[in-house]
């Protein structure tokens, strides 16, 4: 197999770019997921991609493609107390809820909506099939959809027609390809809509002109700090999980600039974040939970019984109505492949266990979880699952 101690010894820059795109498509991974957190894992998966795509070599090492007999096992309709909804056959990568309407996005360009707790669904296609939806927001009766390469789409008529805005959200890379800055999240504060991107910082919407403009005041002008994984309204300010060297940012509205703070461990960064009653919870590239009750100025670890995985994985966070949820999704060719769902009540003290009522869904690779009107919805490679709570 490929030597994966040094990615640069195996793939050149352009090959790395192409392979990472293939990893996203092959594993149905949302582009927002931190597939670069461990460079060894990236190259290991890249080697799997080489096999799956039929490539004859991994730069220095040839790979012999061996066909695997058998028929793919269909996803389970029922697992534990979850039921898969047959009406949504797509991979579901994003879930959001606004005003008792549930929004579920596929890994292509389909947006599903339900206004009756998931009993029935309608769907609409946005743009072209190569579009991946990465974020959803309803703001002033309009639907806003962020994408991985095609900027932001908005609809003022419940999804019947869409407008597309790409200025500031696309650029030509060093290979001459027009690529997008993936939209990672939306946030609303004081009736103003903001959006974070991977590679171009934060943007703000001018509602009068319906145009987006940069909101990067004092955000360090280097590409890593312009990678903003998440933006949130804490009620007192905006916070941004940006940079990759232990940095974090909150906005000083009095002086109109982003202020930098530090995470507990240098060289790490936050790639998932929620807010619970003005307390921030975040997952770092240490794969640990941290929390802050002062807009990210100070942080403490809060990892009691959080599942620890030694195999390729990613995490997702969700703030529900009654509980906060953590997904740990593992990729493996063993029985450990699947999703751990952990939870705990909201507003609890630091050090409270995350493991109360935890579940492991074997063979289910989830991307998002949403609590809505007494039901839990789980978006996964295998479709959309639901259970009553």
Report whether pLDDT(231) > 70. Answer: yes
- The least confident of 50-64, 158-172, 360-374 is 50-64
Distance, CA of 186 to CA of 146 (rounded, Å):
8
Please identify, among 15, 38, 62, the residue that sits at the C-terminal boundary of a domain.
62
Tokens 């001018």 label which residue?
Answer: 206
CA-nearest of 108, 114, 74 to 90 is 108
Instruction: Give domain status of residue 325, yes or no.
Output: yes
Task: Pick 263 or 4 by higher pLDDT.
Answer: 263
CA-nearest of 303, 304, 325, 332 to 387 is 325
Distance, CA of 155 to CA of 162 (rounded, Å):
5
- Average per-residue pLDDT in the chain? 83
Instruction: Give domain status of residue 373, yes or no.
Output: yes
Instruction: Please state at what angle helix 39-53 crosses helix 13-26, rounded to 10 degrees.
Output: 70
Note whether 360 and 382 are same-domain residues. Answer: yes
Tell me the two tokens of residue 105: 């996005």
Report whether pLDDT(192) > 90. Answer: yes
- Residue 363 near residue 338, CB atoms below 8 Å: yes
Question: What's the confidence (pLDDT) of residue 223?
Answer: 60
Note whether 58 and 104 are same-domain residues. Answer: no
Judged on CB neighbours under 10 Å (0-12, 13-18, 19+), 250 is buried
Report whether pLDDT(8) > 70. Answer: no
Note whether 38 and 105 are same-domain residues. Answer: no
pLDDT, tens digit, 9 for 90 and up, residues 28-87: 555 554 444 444 444 444 444 343 333 333 323 222 333 333 334 566 777 879 999 988
Instruction: Give domain status of residue 249, yes or no.
Output: no
Instruction: Give domain status of residue 140, yes or no.
Output: no
Instruction: Give domain status of residue 290, yes or no.
Output: no
Q: How many CB atoms lie within 10 A of CB 160?
A: 8
Note whether 338 and 386 are same-domain residues. Answer: yes
Question: What's the confidence (pLDDT) of residue 60?
Answer: 30
- Residue 338 near residue 386, CB atoms below 8 Å: no
Distance, CA of 205 to CA of 64 (rounded, Å):
51
Report whether pLDDT(235) > 70. Answer: yes
Instruction: Give domain status of residue 132, yes or no.
Output: no
Judged on CB neighbours under 10 Å (0-12, 13-18, 19+), 126 is buried
Confidence grade of residue 176 (pLDDT, cut at 50, 70, 90) = confident
Question: What's the confidence (pLDDT) of residue 29?
Answer: 52
Please identify, among 16, 39, 62, the residue that sits at the C-terminal boundary of a domain.
62
Backbone torsions φ then ψ of 211, nearest 5 degrees:
-125, 155
Instruction: Give domain status of residue 327, yes or no.
Output: yes
Share of the chain above pLDDT 90, in %: 64
Question: What's the confidence (pLDDT) of residue 172?
Answer: 85
Give me the number of domains the chain comprises. Answer: 2
pLDDT, tens digit, 9 for 90 and up, residues 137-153: 999 999 999 999 999 99
Note whether 318 and 377 are same-domain residues. Answer: yes
Note whether 374 and 313 are same-domain residues. Answer: yes
Q: What is the DSSP string of 102-152?
A: EEEEESSSEEEEESSTTSS-EEEE-S-TT--EEEEEEETTEEEEEESSS-E
Task: Pick 105 or 24 by higher pLDDT.
Answer: 105
Distance, CA of 389 to CA of 381 (rounded, Å):
22
Note whether 316 and 382 are same-domain residues. Answer: yes
* Residue range of the domain that includes 347: 73-125+304-389
Per DSSP, what are the bridge partners of residue 252?
A: 257
Note whether 342 and 363 are same-domain residues. Answer: yes
Note whether 55 and 119 are same-domain residues. Answer: no
Instruction: Give domain status of residue 240, yes or no.
Output: no
Confidence grade of residue 221 (pLDDT, cut at 50, 70, 90) = confident
Q: What is the DSSP string of 32-48?
A: TS-TTSSHHHHHHHHHH
Spatial CB neighbours of 272, under 8 Å, sequence gap ≥ 6? 229, 230, 282, 283, 315, 316, 317
The verdict on pTM exceeding 0.85 is no
Task: Pick 49 or 158 by higher pLDDT.
Answer: 158
């Amino acid at each position: 197999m490929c030597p994966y101690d040094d990615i640069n010894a195996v793939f050149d820059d352009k090959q790395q770019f192409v392979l990472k795109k293939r990893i996203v498509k092959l594993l149905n991974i949302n582009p927002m997921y931190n597939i670069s957190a461990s460079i060894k894992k990236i190259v290991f998966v890249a080697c799997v991609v080489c096999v799956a795509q039929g490539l004859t070599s991994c730069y220095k090492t040839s790979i012999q493609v061996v066909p695997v007999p058998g028929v793919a096992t269909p996803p389970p309709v029922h697992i534990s107390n979850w039921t898969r909804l047959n009406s949504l056959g797509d991979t579901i990568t994003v879930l959001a809820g606004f005003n008792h309407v549930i929004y579920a996005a596929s890994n292509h360009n389909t947006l599903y909506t339900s206004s009756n707790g998931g009993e029935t669904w309608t769907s609409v296609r946005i743009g072209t099939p190569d579009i991946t939806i990465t974020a959803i927001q309803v703001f002033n009766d309009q639907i806003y959809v962020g994408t991985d390469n095609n900027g932001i789409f908005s609809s003022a008529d419940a999804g019947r027609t869409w407008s597309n805005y790409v200025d500031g959200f696309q650029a030509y890379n060093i290979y001459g390809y027009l690529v997008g800055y993936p939209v990672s999240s939306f946030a609303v504060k004081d009736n103003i809509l903001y959006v974070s991107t991977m590679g171009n910082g934060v943007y703000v919407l001018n509602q009068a002109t319906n145009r987006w403009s940069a909101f990067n005041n004092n955000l360090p002008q280097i590409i890593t700090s312009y990678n903003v994984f998440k933006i949130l309204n804490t009620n007192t300010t905006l916070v941004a999980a940006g940079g990759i060297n232990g940095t974090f940012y909150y906005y000083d509205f009095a002086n109109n600039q982003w202020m930098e703070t530090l995470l507990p461990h240098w060289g790490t960064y936050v790639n998932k974040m929620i807010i619970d009653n003005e307390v921030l919870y975040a997952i770092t590239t240490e794969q640990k939970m941290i929390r802050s009750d002062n807009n990210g100025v100070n942080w403490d670890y809060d990892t009691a019984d959080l599942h620890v995985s030694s195999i390729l994985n990613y995490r997702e966070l969700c703030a529900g109505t009654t509980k906060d949820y953590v997904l740990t999704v593992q990729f493996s060719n063993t029985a450990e492949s699947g999703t751990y769902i952990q939870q705990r009540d909201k507003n609890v003290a630091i050090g409270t266990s995350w493991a109360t009522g935890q579940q492991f869904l074997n063979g289910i690779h989830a991307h998002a979880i949403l609590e809505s009107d007494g039901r839990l919805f789980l978006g996964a490679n295998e479709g959309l699952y639901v259970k009553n709570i």
